Amino acid sequence: MRPSILRRLFRRVASTAVLGLLAATLSTTTAVQPAAAAAGGLQQVTGFGSNPGNLQMYAYTPAGLPANAPLVVALHGCTQTANAYYTNSGWPKFADEWGFAVVFPQTTSANNSLSCFGWFDPAEDTRGRGEAASIVQMVEYAKQSYGSDGRRVYVTGLSAGGGMTADLLAAYPDVFAGGSVASGLPAQCATSQAAASGCQTGPQKLSPAQWGDKVRAAYPGYTGPWPRVAIWQGTSDYTVYPANATALRDQWTDVWGIGQTPASTDTLPGNTTRSVYNDASGRPAVETYSVSGMGHGLPVNPGTGDQQCGTTAAYFLNAICSTYYTGVFWGLHGGTPGGGGDQLPAPAGLTVTGTTGTTASLSWNAVQGASSYGVHRNGTKIASPTATTFTDTGLTAGTAYRYTVTAIDAAGKAGTASAQVTATTTGGSTPATCYSATNYAHVTAGRAHTSGGYVYANGSNQNMGLYNVFVTHTLKESPAGYFVIADSGCTTG
């Protein structure tokens, strides 16, 4: 028997135990249907290449697709199909609206007993080999058959598809201009089946440079531009833990040569916190989207609104339309990749200029092209002043409030959010209160919030460590709503 056949046979037997976490929450009665069952525009493509990874190719091409349109490659998760991703992810909606083709690769139980892409197998996820090579052949087919623009090819994936996405970005930075990893793994986190489950529950504690080295080693000698990467993660994901999102952020910010401190953070629908890491020119190179309370899956938001998409199903969770924000980040909506072009920059110099017991006054620098500004208190928009100053009224004495500001253009589109500032109203001299609990309990109780898999104390924004039930801290609240870490002792006077 040929070695390749033996390898695939071994993968079918061993992968059920190793990768069971990736399908742990799927009902045992769920049937996996072939992608050919999709209605309408999803079509199977054969003869796209030598196909060393034994994958199937499905594609959606909108009517009237122009030449040199972008191309998106969308990878399903374990136990899923191309049809499931086509039906539920929302990509066809924006392909129609913005004009691009979508390729949906599909693996099967012939490759892996759970139909997982082989993100953990060097024979499948490295340059020129296996499934990775098959996916790149699909890209070449799309360029030749649909006229897709080779400079604007993007890849996205969920769970095991997210792990393969990261591997493809590392192995083929000359093919993919951007990627989006949803509930996935850092590139080359695991290089064997035995190491796969360990990555899911907690990747190695590597430095950003060490994570970046894994990308640089995937295509030695590459000197071209790196892909722009979006990272989506639910804070309550216990299949692929939030620590993976932190590792992905460290990995790709290091590859870009930028720090791990975001240039801006803001709050999006669905209890989502977006953190933006800019390149040297000030354009977003890496963005993380932390969805508070969401489990393992792709965030969707069913509806007919401009920023809504998808349908809920197994591993498609109602929170926010991640497809919309990913497409905007890549520039598929007609803007510049990385969120530039038609998006106004973040206002600089946001400052608290004064407080009283019931008010907080703010000021910031003007943004060229802004018709007005959006003022956000604790993540909710509260005002749209045309001036660069604003006084918030009706507040509670002795309480901390978090503010960001966005510039809004003449069409009503908001740009990138400013850095966050905290204003604490005067008065309200209530005694300090102390709370000892796990990081998870602090977030649940509203004393802390999450970003990128980490927990931060409300008010002080002190980093409390990973979002889980294993890390415990004591928080001191004074004044109301303002928390600081007080592990060494907490007095209530």
Cite the active site residues: 159
CA dihedral 111, 237, 90, 318 (to 10 degrees): 140
What Cα–Cα distance (Å) separates residue 248 from each residue in 180, 187, 206, 232, 459? 11, 8, 11, 10, 27
What Cα–Cα distance (Å) separates residue 262 from each residue in 13, 278, 396, 418? 43, 8, 30, 11
Beta strands in 212-364 (DSSP E): 228-234, 264-268, 272-278, 284-291, 298-300, 316-318, 351-355, 360-363
For residue 42, give the 3-state DSSP assignment: coil
477: phi then psi, degrees, rounded to nearest 5: -105, 110
10: phi then psi, degrees, rounded to nearest 5: -65, -40
Q: Which helix (H) or strand (E) holds 408?
A: strand 400-408
Cβ(445)–Cβ(396) under 8 Å?
no
What Cα–Cα distance (Å) separates residue 428 from each residue in 316, 358, 432, 483, 485? 44, 10, 11, 15, 21
Q: Tokens 């092209």 belong to which residue? A: 369
What single DSSP character describes residue 67? T
For residue 131, give the 3-state DSSP assignment: helix
